Amino acid sequence: MSKKSWLLYALTTTVFWGVWGAMIELPGHAGFPPTLVYIVWALTMIPCAIAALAIIHWKLEYDYKSIFYGMTIGLTGAGGQIILFQALASGPAYLVFPIISLSPAVTVLLSVAFLKERTTKRHWVGIVFALLAIVMMSFQKPDSNAVSGYAWLILAIGVFLAWGIQAFIMKKANDHMKAENIFFYMAISGIMLIPIAYFMTDFTQEINYGFKGPYLAAIVSVLNSVGALTFGLCHSLWKVIIVAPLTNAVAPIITVVLSLLMYAVIPNPVIIAGIVIALIAVYLMAE
C-alpha cells in the first residue's frame, strides 16, 4: 500500500464512523432489537476481515501472543458494541457518543499505570475535561422529556471503559502484529459473541423484519466495519499524532450534528456545554 493512502483511509473512517453513529439507532427505533442489530453488525465484519487478509496476502499471524492480543482486542470491542446498542435504546446518540469518545482517558491512565509512559499536561487537562463533560452531559432538568432515566449513562460508561481498555491493548499489539491481523481477530471475536446476543433477544416482542429492520441495520453497520478496517490501515501508514485527532475528534462531531438534526431537538445549555467540552477533551487526549 502507498503511504499516500493514509489520508483517504483516515477520511473514510471519520465520515463513515460519524454517519454510522447517528444512524445506527434507527433500526432499534423501528422495532428491530439492539441485540439483533449487533448480530447484523458482526456479520458485516466478515467480508472486511477477508479483505484485510487479502491485503497481506493471507499471511495470518497465529502465534500465542498474536492470538491473545487479537482476541482480547476483539472481545473488548465486540462486548462494547453489544452494550452500545443497548445504550442507544434508552438514550440519544448526541449524548451517548460524546461520552464514548472520551475513552482515550482510560487508555492514557492505563498507559501511565502499566507501561510507565510519561504523559503531558495536555493529556491531563483532557482527562479533567472528560470527567467534567460526563457530569455535565448527565444533567437532566426535572421536567425534561428528551431523555428519561440514567440507564443510557451507565451503559455508555461501560462502552467508554471497554473501548479505552481495547485501545490500550492495541497500543501493545501494534508493536507485535499487523493491523490487518488485528482486524481479523476482531471479526472472529464479534462472531463468537453472536450466541450471547441471540439469547439476550426478547423474541416475544414484535420484531420488524422489513427494510428498516435488518436491511437498514446491515447498510449502516457496513459503515462501521469498513471504517474500522480503514482506521487500522491509516494507523499503520501514518503518524498517530496526526491520525488520532482527525478520526477520534471529528467523527463524534459528525455524529452529534446529524443526531441533533434527526431528533430535531436543542438540548439544554448545560448539556450543550458538556458536549463541547467532551469534544475538546477528545482532541486534547489524542496522541
Query: Do residues 204 and 247 lie in contact, with contact meaning Cβ atoms separated by under 8 Å?
Result: no
Residue 245 has pLDDT above 80, yes or no: no
Give me the mean pLDDT over the 62-68 stretch.
95
Query: Cβ–Cβ contacts within 10 Å for residue 100, how many?
Result: 26
Greater model confidence, 227 or 247: 227
| Sequential DSSP letters for 71-111 | HHHHHHHHHHHHHHHHHHHHS-HHHHHHHHTTTHHHHHHHH
- Residue 60, all three cell numbers: 495470518
What per-residue confidence (pLDDT) applies to 198?
A: 97
Domains of the chain by residue range = 3-285
Mean pLDDT score of the chain, rounded to an integer? 87
118-140 average pLDDT score: 85
Given a contact cutoff of 8 angstroms between Cβ atoms, the answer to whether 70 and 247 are in contact is: no
Per-residue pLDDT band for 52 (boundaries 50, 70, 90) equals: very high
Q: Residue 59 pLDDT more than 70?
A: yes
Question: Is the pTM for the entire model greater than 0.75?
Answer: yes
Q: What is the pLDDT of residue 140?
A: 61
Per-residue pLDDT, 142: 45
Q: Within 10 A of 12 (CB to CB), how many other CB atoms are there?
A: 20
Question: Any residues with CB less than 8 A from the CB of 274 and at least 6 apart, and which?
Answer: 98, 132, 133, 134, 135, 136, 137, 139
Residue 281: enclosing H or E segment and its boundaries? helix 269-285
Query: Distance of alpha carbon 251 from its chain centroid, rounded?
Result: 10
Residue 7 has pLDDT above 90, yes or no: no
19 neighbors 258 (Cβ within 8 angstroms) = yes
Q: How does residue 241 score in pLDDT terms, banded at 50, 70 and 90?
A: low
